[in-house]
């Protein structure tokens, strides 16, 4: 199987002026990513609206198949590239912090709701999701979705590894001073479960939030194969599923697990 080339879009800094402005940014990023040979574009958490939008969040929320989803599908199909984007999802009275994967032909493939909400803002603004493993295939690669804080829980990543995820995609809005997460914790998560991990962060300032950037794509051996700085950037890396088997043969954490010992831990 040929490697899947992925592009991580970190930016732009600040809250988008509008959803239309965010979609224009998706269009440009998709164009550049496709020209660079990528078949998958990953954007940040709540990339459709911005993170620090306060009381406007509920008004900006859309159903999973809402008008913005259809416009992202048009962008994906126009540039023949799969797109992951973050958005506030409306489901009746509930609003979820969600990520959606659109295929390179514009077909909706997966929708994930953040299961671990971070801080008072998220817990007051969102309803947590309850489906831990959401997956879909792009060019034969099994892609799984988490969002930001989710990846900091080893159980969440291990569930994906056991479920067959090969590339774990994590739209993110990580703030300073938590730079140790992309620098240390994310490579450790990839290594301990031997999965490719794409971590696409926000950058710049939004109100009182200052986002850390440092988006990265890490291989199943823990090697950082692409790393962004702290400003707007598009970075590329190849995802080779064959490297997963090699990493698991070298470090057989999954094969050597003894889950019967952990059941009492809850």
Tens place of pLDDT per residue across the chain (266 aa): 789 999 999 988 888 889 999 999 999 999 999 999 999 999 999 999 999 998 899 999 999 999 999 999 999 999 999 999 999 999 999 999 999 999 999 999 999 999 999 999 999 999 999 999 999 999 999 999 999 999 999 999 999 999 999 999 999 999 999 999 999 999 999 999 999 999 999 999 998 999 999 999 999 999 999 999 999 999 999 999 999 999 999 999 999 999 999 888 77
Burial class (CB in 10 A: 0-12, 13-18, 19+), 27: middle
How far are the Cα atoms of 64, 101, 161 from residue 121, in angstroms, in the given order? 22, 25, 30
On whether the pTM is more than 0.85, the answer is yes
Instruction: Provide the residue ranges of all domains of the chain, joining segments of one domain with +.
Output: 4-265
Active site residues: 45, 114, 148
Name which of 135, 132, 196, 133 is nearest 167 in CA terms.
Answer: 196
Instruction: Let me know if domain 4-265 sits in CATH 3.65.10.10.
Output: no
């Amino acid at each position: 199987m040929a490697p899947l080339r992925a592009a991580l879009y970190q930016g732009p800094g600040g809250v988008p002026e509008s959803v239309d402005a965010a979609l224009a940014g998706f269009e440009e990023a998709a164009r550049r990513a496709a020209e660079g040979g990528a078949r998958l574009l990953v954007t940040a958490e709540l990339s459709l609206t911005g993170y620090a939008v306060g009381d406007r969040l509920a008004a900006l929320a859309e159903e999973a198949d809402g008008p913005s989803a259809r416009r992202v599908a048009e962008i994906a199909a126009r540039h023949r590239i799969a797109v992951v984007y973050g958005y506030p999802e409306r489901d009746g009275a509930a609003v979820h912090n969600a990520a959606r994967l659109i295929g390179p032909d514009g077909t909706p493939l997966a929708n994930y709701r953040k299961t671990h909400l971070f801080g008072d803002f998220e817990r007051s603004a969102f309803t947590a999701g309850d489906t831990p493993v959401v997956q879909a295939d792009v060019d034969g690669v099994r892609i799984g979705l988490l969002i930001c804080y989710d990846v900091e829980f080893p159980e969440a990543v291990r569930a994906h590894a056991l479920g067959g995820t090969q590339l774990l995609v994590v739209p993110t809005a990580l703030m300073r001073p938590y730079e140790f997460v992309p620098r240390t914790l994310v490579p450790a998560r990839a290594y301990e479960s031997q999965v490719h991990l794409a971590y696409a962060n926000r950058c710049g300032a939004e109100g009182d939030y200052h986002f850390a950037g440092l988006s990265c794509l890490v291989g199943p051996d823990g090697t950082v194969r692409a790393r962004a700085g702290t400003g707007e950037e598009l970075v590329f890396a190849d995802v080779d599923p064959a490297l997963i088997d090699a990493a698991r043969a070298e470090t057989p954490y999954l094969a050597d697990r003894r889950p019967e010992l952990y059941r009492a831990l809850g």
